[in-house]
Amino acid sequence: MRHIILTVLVISSAMAGCKEEVNLPPQPLSKYIQLYMPQAVNGPVTYNLNTGDTIPPVIIYGADYGGADYPDQDIPVTFTVDASLVDTFNISHNTNYTLLPSKSYKMSELNGVIKKGQLATEPLKISITLKGDSAPDISKAYILPVTITKSAVQVNENLRTAYFIINIIPTYFDRSSWQIIDFSSQESVGEGANNGRAIFALDGNINTYWHSQWKDAAPGPPHYFTIDMGETRSILGGAFVDRQNASNGRPQDIQIFLSDNNIDWSLAYSGTLLNTADLQKVFFSTAMNGRYVKLQINTAYSSDLTHLAEFYLF
């Protein structure tokens, strides 16, 4: 037993003799306190906004306090939209987003406060405009980099900026009350009972279609039909689904005209569609108003005749 005790004492003495004194550098608490934008934590935040929304969409942003304990005084924080970060983001992510135009959004506040004893600013809001003259071009995908520009507390550089991706999705108008009031021609016999007539371009069925006349006569282009929507609408663009089982005759060069009285017409769009059965959207350069709509097909693929499964407006 004595031998065991002596052995323990020897080992303890040896370990004590090997002990080295370690002096750690000062670790101030302030080093671990940093502000950040919580919306930046998981990367870009995507908003899919709908043109049919009756309430203007809102994006929430703010700053949080990270570190030990709670702040012992108010911390003012200043935010801004930093346009210079768009190119940086696109290059690093291999994207092609456009900065959301300043006319299309409004920030509720540029300044926030993390109050004493709190861990975050009050939620701040960005209101997005999707209607009227301030609406952005809905054919583009946008980005809005919101960044902390000023704070009395150190900012986490990796989480200084929140990137908001904004996609604008068109809402198609309800077509249930629309009427075809004029057309260049329609095939009311040769395509069967449930095809050929112009009304089939508005019936919601991509397997039915309007076809220009070919059985007893074959008038050439331009082909057209005119719609009365029953009310004046602000229109951003149109969409097309071509006939599913035939490529020859699909619309190629088209124009869309609008009118308030079915007499005086304004050109809203002129362009070329693809020869495909997939949905295609076209966008006006600016929103235009009208009650009456004329779709005119000036040329078709590999034919003087034409056909169309569905026509929408948004």
Q: What is the pLDDT of residue 246?
A: 93
- Same domain? 280 vs 194: yes
Q: Token pair 């407006």 is at which residue?
A: 313
Other Cβ atoms within 10 Å of 219 Cβ, number: 13
| CA 290/CA 313 separation, integer angstroms | 11
- Centre a 10 Å sphere on the Cβ of residue 296 and count the other Cβ atoms it contains: 20
| Residue 285's CATH number | 2.60.120.260
Mention every residue, 6+ apart, whose C-beta is less than 8 A from residue 134. 103, 104
16 in a structural domain: no
Strand order in the sheet with 105-107: 58-61, 124-128, 105-107
Q: What local confidence, expressed as pLDDT, does residue 67 receive?
A: 82
Assess whether 294 and 218 both reside in one domain.
yes
pLDDT single digits (tens) 82-119: 999 999 999 999 999 999 999 999 999 999 999 999 99
**For residue 7, pLDDT beyond 70:** no
- Asked if 298 contacts 253 with a C-beta cutoff of 8 angstroms, the reply is yes
Same domain, 159 and 204: no
Check residue 159 and give its pLDDT: 97
Q: Does a cis peptide bond (omega within 30 degrees of 0) precede residue 222?
A: yes
Contact 298, 221 (CB under 8 A): yes
Q: Is residue 247 part of a domain?
A: yes
Using DSSP's 3-state secondary structure scheme, residue 8 falls into helix
Percent of the chain with pLDDT strictly greater than 90: 83
pLDDT of residue 131: 84
Tell me: do 228 and 300 sit in the same domain.
yes
pLDDT at 32 over 90: no
Average pLDDT over residues 254-269: 98
Rounded mean pLDDT, 151-166 = 96
At which of 151, 169, 187 does a domain end?
169
Total number of residues shown for the chain: 314
User: What is the distance between the alpha carbons of residues 70 and 5, in angstroms, rounded to a whole number?
Assistant: 52
Question: Do 185 and 306 have their domain in common?
Answer: yes
Q: Are residues 141 and 221 in the same domain?
A: no
Residue 150 sits in the same domain as residue 208:
no
pLDDT in tens, 219-244: 999 999 999 999 999 999 999 999 99
Number of structural domains, the chain?
Answer: 2
pLDDT, position 14: 40
The mean pLDDT of 293-309, rounded to a whole number, is 98
pLDDT reading at 49 higher than 70: yes
Determine the pLDDT at residue 69: 86
Residue-by-residue DSSP string for 239-284: EEE--SS--TT-EEEEEEEEESSSSS-EEEEEEE--S-SS-EEEEE
Contacts of 204 (CB under 8 A, 6+ apart): 175, 310
pLDDT tier at 56, thresholds 50, 70, 90: confident
- CA quadruple 88, 92, 98, 101: dihedral positive or negative? negative
**Predicted pLDDT at 6:** 37
What value does the CA radius of gyration of the chain take, rounded to a whole number of Å?
32
**Residue whose structure tokens are 């929507």:** 229
Of 55, 277, 57, nearest to 166 by C-alpha is 57
Cα gap 202→239, rounded to integer Å: 12
Residues 142 and 200 occupy one common structural domain: no
- Answer yes or no: is pLDDT of 15 > 50: no
Q: How far is residue 214's CA from residue 304's CA, in Å, rounded to a whole number?
A: 10
- Host domain of residue 129: 30-169
Q: What does pTM read for this prediction?
A: 0.76
Q: Are residues 150 and 279 in the same domain?
A: no
Q: Are 172 and 279 in contact (CB under 8 A)?
A: no
Mean pLDDT of 50-63: 92
What number is the average pLDDT over the span 173-193?
Answer: 96
